[in-house]
Amino acid sequence: MINQPSDTWDKIRQQFDSSPYPRIALENSPKNNANLLFIHNLVSAYYLRTQKVIDTKDKLILDAGCGTGYKSLVLAEANPGAKIVGVDISAESVALARKRLEYHGFDNVEFHVLPIEELSNLGQQFDYKYLSKINLTFLEKRKISVFLICSLFPVPCSLSKI
């Protein structure tokens, strides 16, 4: 794990605990946003990488820095039958993510309060990993290079602008 002053990370965690992100209403659904679903579909990323079509059933998808779970919901909608695993450093955000996916009827999800550097503690091999641009900013501030980030993501990966 990368050592950083704990007071800095405590402040960041407190910020997201007091003001979870993203601030999207729990009821808001991506079901009718075809472009958003296309972008977050494992089939799209896999095809672009291998020129082969795969089934998302039983695939394991990571949402690193899941926040309040809106992108986890998008990933669940876009990848029927896949299991979504969200991780975030904010316990409050993770609690909202759980409520969001439960509200929309998804039970193929799990969430963990966990820094990205400790992903190996989950003991899972992911088929697809999603990381938003905002998380890249935080990781770079923690002196975690994009190269290291890419090494965490040897499978198809999306880096979103949000």
Specify the range with the lowest mean pLDDT, choosing from 59-68, 80-89, 121-130, 134-143. 134-143
What percent of the chain is modeled with pLDDT above 90?
A: 39
Distance from C-alpha of 106 to C-alpha of 100, rounded to nearest angstrom: 9
Please check the confidence at residue 78 and state whether its pLDDT lies above 60.
Answer: yes
User: Between helices 91-103 and 6-18, what is the axis angle to 10°?
Assistant: 30
Q: The sheet that has 83-88: what strands, in order across it?
A: 109-113, 83-88, 60-64, 128-132, 157-160
Q: What is the distance between the terminal CA atoms of the chain, rounded to a whole angstrom?
A: 25
pLDDT of res. 6: 67
pLDDT of res. 38: 84
pLDDT of res. 145: 46
pLDDT of res. 157: 52
Question: 81-134 pLDDT, tens per residue?
Answer: 999 999 999 999 999 999 999 999 999 999 999 987 788 899 998 888 887 655
H or E stretch including 120?
none
Question: pLDDT higher for 18 or 48?
Answer: 18
Task: Report CA-CA distances (Å) from 62 to 7, 10, 111.
Answer: 28, 24, 10
Quick check: 73 and 101 in contact, CB under 8 A?
yes
pLDDT of res. 136: 55
pLDDT of res. 146: 47
Full-model pTM:
0.77
| Mean of pLDDT values over 27-33 | 91
What string of DSSP letters covers 15-37? HHHHS-SS---TT---TT-HHHH
